[in-house]
Amino acid sequence: MKTHTPDLTTSAGRNPAAALTTEPVGDVVHLRAGGTSVVVQLSDARLPRVLHWGEDLGTLSDADLTTIAAAAMPGIGDSSVTYPQPVPVLAQVPEGWLGRPGIVADRDGTQWAARFLVASAFTAETAEARTLTVRAVDEPYGLELEIELEVLHASGLVRQRAVLRNREPAPLRVGAIELALPVPQAADEVMDLTGRWSLERVPQRRAFDVGEWVRTSRGGKPGLEHTTLVLAGERGFGFRSGRVWATHLAWSGNQTLGAERTPADTRRLVASEMLVPGEVVLGRDDEYATPWQYGSWGDGLDELAARFHRHLRASAGAPRSPRPVILNTWEAVYFEHDPATLVALAERGAAAGVERFVVDDGWFVGRRDDTTSLGDWTIDPERWPAGLAPLADRVRELGMDFGLWFEPEMVNLDSDLAREHPDWLFDAGHGAGLPSRYQHVLDLGHPEAESYVLEAMSALVKELGIAYIKWDHNRYLLDAGHSPSGRPGFREQTLAAYRIMDELHRRHPGLEIESCASGGGRIDLGVLARTQRVWPSDCNDPHERAEIQRWTGLLVPPEYQGTHIGAEHSHTTHRQHPLSYRGEKALWGNLGVELNLLAEDERTRADVAAWIAFHKRHRELLHGGVSVHADLAEPAARLDGVVAADGSEALFALSLTERPRTWPLGRIALPGLDDARRHRVRVVAPDGAEPLSGAQPAWVVDGVELPGRVLRAVGLEMPALDPDRSVILHIESCDA
């Protein structure tokens, strides 16, 4: 049997423990976990129909569930073709569905309107989730379908996936299997994200009108413009208010996310892998499994995001040790590598408190710029006559981990690899296609190519004692034809990358991987099951990073986000910012340094060390607390922070992105604090930092003590700030 089933949860997903209990189900099923309820109807042999997804409904009797189902049915008379409510999680044309199809498949133009009837259904309780498994068949077409719908205990996330099997000898071409989660009529506004290089994850909103709003990624990875989530909520929903629902696809390749509203006012959030024609063809007994579609909900975006954060923190592959402060060499030296310079840079980094030293692009044979040598993963003997081992050893002597940059899926035409194996490049029949950054894509659908990449990386990890890999992915997959057939290779490329990551983790326990793709081009729960860090953007400008990190945080918790102190004069935007602002914006994630510390003066190096020390003092809170964001009336102001899970401590930053419309800012409330506790609020900064200037509210001098309810409902007059400046507030519970 050939399988098209991706293992999407190898490193950080499904608990291998067997189900604790299993039981058959009736016509209506209630799944409860993590503060979430999902009510599912299964009557009339139809595929699962979600009647409620969201707030925990408490204990419900069988009679209650039957009444909920009856009360959810509209009076449609004989118009079921026009009003096929409630809609299954996988919509079918023969049931009267005229919207986006749940399944697109055919046998050479026939048997294209599948209709599945449920054959069996049961629930299971594991340590990880409450699960409903439904098995259905389309006997005339010779097809079997299995749908798993889960509510996760740790987070209250919902996730579902489908497996399609062909039981007939005639091949079945699969074009799409699109799963859906319904949202109620209260969800009348849609939000998604867009972006580009160095400006990822820009929010955009629109009314949830009748029709479809669909976002598709076709470049073999989610992409810089990828929305990450599609959300629907009560009009005007913010971080702290307004019920909101979202969907995400745990897949690092081509995909579609969307929101759909029908004339019958069915509202759904949909997700699917985007398949290229001919990419999945099932022979007899072959199967195709979709990636997991995830759903989160909350009263405000903070609660919605917190579910994703809890899920990642509870996963098997989540980092358990404090996230080390990183020094990355890219913006410090670019391609100008030599042993003496990098040893000196490492020494400067260690003196500042850096804990992990990462050598970026430029270390391998012949690599002097980005036009050549990509794919030749051999240490350059001219630049490194003794190899990288002396540098790696010196890094460890200084008390730091050693990390190395790779771009495993890419190749330059001017490389030994391309010259020796031209058939390992993607080619859909017109040659290697357009270059991007002078590079093309290595077709990992060739087992030999996959093996070459794995063995080259693994050998260096072992030889150099590498603790951390920065895994980059700069070129989109365009005409990704597998040679010599030219058949599409998009999804196999993603699966091969997953296999390499999984095998590297298996061979080298403790190895950590960062997902970078021209910045934030590959951030999703599929790759996050295998990586311990993501790079949100190539832009280190704190003005841009404030927003990029805020919206990346809808999915990714702070400790997974790489946040670096860049140069005073930004390499991407050419803005200039003082270290106080650059340091503050880098504080809120996995802190890194991308300065050339060899070129900075003694005062700047001391200030960098002070920011690193400040980060370390608060690292446990920053990387384990609950992220919160205030909804402010002034569009120029931002108040973002993190509150300890037990409510004992919090850290906030107030920032101005531009000059506000009115002045002063007035009172701003501090969200997320325990109402019942008294809290002391102080302005804090790293040692040696310059104090606030100008006239300031009286409480700023010595701090203030008030109940949490007052800080939330009344707030405090905020310190005066200039544009692109910030102030940090530390809150401690007086009752602890």
Question: For the residues 651-663, what does the mean pLDDT come to?
Answer: 95
C-alpha 463/C-alpha 507 separation (Å) is 13
**DSSP letters for 428-475:** SSSSS---BTTBEEB-TTSHHHHHHHHHHHHHHHHHHT--EEEE---S
Given a cut of 90, is residue 517 above it in pLDDT? Answer: yes
- What per-residue confidence (pLDDT) applies to 24? 77
Question: For the residues 249-278, what does the mean pLDDT come to?
Answer: 97
User: Minimal CA–CA distance to 409: which of 433, 378, 436, 442?
Assistant: 442
| pLDDT one-digit tens code per residue, 217-259 | 999 999 999 999 999 999 999 999 999 999 999 999 999 999 9
Place of tokens 């009557």: 43
C-alpha 733/C-alpha 736 separation (Å) is 6
Given a cut of 50, is residue 558 above it in pLDDT? Answer: yes
**DSSP letters for 528-540:** HTT-SEE--BS--
pLDDT band with cut points at 50, 70 and 90 for residue 695: confident
C-alpha 250/C-alpha 36 separation (Å) is 20
pLDDT band with cut points at 50, 70 and 90 for residue 16: very low
Given a cut of 60, is residue 539 above it in pLDDT? Answer: yes
Judge if pTM exceeds 0.85. Answer: yes
Given a cut of 90, is residue 20 above it in pLDDT? Answer: no
| pLDDT one-digit tens code per residue, 114-166 | 999 999 999 999 999 999 999 999 999 999 999 999 999 999 999 999 999 99
Q: Which residue has the higher pLDDT, 10 or 191?
A: 191
Question: For the residues 401-412, what does the mean pLDDT come to?
Answer: 98
Strand partners, 115: none
List the catalytic residues.
Answer: 472, 538
Check residue 520 and report its DSSP letter: B
Calculate the average pLDDT of the chain. Answer: 95
Rounded to a whole number of angstroms, the distance between the first and last alpha carbons of the chain is 60
Task: Give the helix/strand (H/E) hosting 524.
Answer: none
| Cβ within 8 Å of residue 649, ≥6 positions away | 621, 625, 643, 730, 731, 732, 733, 736
pLDDT band with cut points at 50, 70 and 90 for residue 12: very low
Question: For the residues 689-711, what does the mean pLDDT come to?
Answer: 91
List the structure tokens of 508: 């080298």
Q: 272 φ, ψ to 5°?
A: -160, 155
| Cβ within 8 Å of residue 58, ≥6 positions away | none
Question: For the residues 498-520, what does the mean pLDDT come to?
Answer: 98
User: Looking at 525-615, which runs of residues are DSSP E strands?
Assistant: 533-534, 562-565, 590-593
Given a cut of 70, is residue 735 above it in pLDDT? Answer: yes
- What per-residue confidence (pLDDT) applies to 691? 81
| pLDDT one-digit tens code per residue, 349-405 | 999 999 999 999 999 999 999 999 999 999 999 999 999 999 999 999 999 999 999
Strand, helix or coil for residue 332: helix
Residues 149 and 89: beta-carbon distance below 8 Å:
yes
C-alpha 703/C-alpha 729 separation (Å) is 10
Given a cut of 90, is residue 105 above it in pLDDT? Answer: yes
- What per-residue confidence (pLDDT) applies to 362? 98
Residues 654 and 721: beta-carbon distance below 8 Å:
yes
List the structure tokens of 590: 């996995």
Residues 699 and 714: beta-carbon distance below 8 Å:
no
- What per-residue confidence (pLDDT) applies to 112? 97
C-alpha 73/C-alpha 329 separation (Å) is 61
> Residue 510 CA to chain centroid, in angstroms?
21
- What per-residue confidence (pLDDT) applies to 2? 64
Check residue 87 and report its DSSP letter: P
User: Minimal CA–CA distance to 97: which of 74, 110, 113?
Assistant: 113
Given a cut of 60, is residue 6 above it in pLDDT? Answer: no
Given a cut of 90, is residue 8 above it in pLDDT? Answer: no
pLDDT band with cut points at 50, 70 and 90 for residue 688: confident
pLDDT band with cut points at 50, 70 and 90 for residue 179: very high
pLDDT band with cut points at 50, 70 and 90 for residue 25: confident
Q: How many helices (H) and strands (E) does the chain have?
A: 14, 42
535: left (phi > 0), else alpha (psi -120 to 50), else beta? Answer: beta
Question: For the residues 453-467, what does the mean pLDDT come to?
Answer: 98
Question: For the residues 644-671, what does the mean pLDDT come to?
Answer: 94
Place of tokens 């370390």: 616
